[in-house]
Chains A and B, each alone.
Chain A
Amino acid sequence: MKNQEEFQPKGTVAILVVFVITLIVLWGTIYLTLLQRGGTV
Chain B
Amino acid sequence: MTAQTYSLSPKEKSFVSWHLLVAMVALALGTLFGPLQAFEHAGLNLYPFLQPLIKSYYQGLTLHGVLNALVWTTFFITGFLTFNVIYGLKRPLRYPTLNQVGFWLMIVGLVMAAIPILLNKASVLYTFYPPMKAHWAYYVGLTLVVVGSWVEGYGFYFTYAAWRKENPGERTPFIAFASVLTMVLWQIATLGVAVEMLTMLIPWSLGLIETVDPQLARTYFWFTGHPLVYFWLLPAYISWYAMLPKQVGGKMFSDSLARLAFWLFLLLSVPLGFHHQYVDPGVPAGWKFVHAVLTFSVFFPSLLTAFTVIASLEYGARKNGGTGLFRWVLALPWRDPSVAAQLLAGLLFFFGGIGGLANAAYNVNLELHNTTFVPGHFHLTVATGVTLTFMGVSYWLVPYLTGKKLWKPDLARWQAWLWFIGMIIFSNAMHVLGILGAPRRTPLGDAPYVPAEWNSRLLQVGIGGGILFISAILYFAVMIGTAFSKVKVEKEVEVPVAEALQPVSQTPAWLDRWAPWVYAALALIVIAYGPQLYEQIRNISLTSPGFRVW
Contact = CB atoms under 8 A, between A and B. Distances in A.
A11 B318 CA distance: 10
Interface residues of B, number: 32
Nearest to B434: A30
Contacts of A1: 501, 503
A40 B307 contact: no
Contacts of B307: 9, 12, 16
Contacts of A2: 501
Contact of A9 (B310, B351, B435): B310
A10 B325 contact: yes
Given A2-B501, A11-B328, A40-B366, A23 B311 contact: no
B354 interface: yes
Q: How large is the interface on A (under 10, 10 to 19, 20 to 34, 35 or more residues)?
A: 20 to 34
A30 B367 contact: yes
Interface in B292-329: 306-307, 310-311, 314-315, 317-318, 322, 324-326, 328-329
A1 to B, nearest CB: 7
Contacts of A40: 363, 366
A18 to B, nearest CB: 9
A22 B354 contact: yes
B125 to A, nearest CB: 26
Given A27-B354, A27-B358, A11 B324 contact: yes
Contacts of A26: 354, 358
Contacts of A31: 358, 361, 364
Interface in B315-357: 315, 317-318, 322, 324-326, 328-329, 350-351, 353-354, 357
A3 B354 CA distance: 34
A13 to B, nearest CB: 9
Contacts of B310: 9, 11-12, 15-16
Contact of B253 (A9, A11, A16, A23): A9
Contacts of B501: 1-2, 4, 7
B364 A16 contact: no
B354 A23 contact: yes
Nearest to A39: B363
A9 B314 contact: yes
Interface string B104-143: 0000000000000000000000000000000000000000
A7 to B, nearest CB: 6
B435 A30 contact: yes
A2 B499 CA distance: 12
A39 B357 CA distance: 21
A30 B322 CA distance: 37
Nearest to A22: B354
Nearest to A1: B503
Given A9-B253, A30-B367, A33-B367, A19 B326 contact: no
A16 B315 contact: no
Interface in B486-515: 501-503
10 residue pairs, one from A and one from B, having the closest CB atoms = A9-B311, A12-B310, A12-B311, A4-B501, A14-B325, A11-B314, A30-B358, A23-B354, A34-B367, A9-B314
Interface of B: 253-254, 306-307, 310-311, 314-315, 317-318, 322, 324-326, 328-329, 350-351, 353-354, 357-358, 361, 363-364, 366-368, 435, 501-503
8 contacts: A4-B501, A11-B318, A11-B322, A16-B307, A27-B354, A30-B435, A31-B364, A33-B367
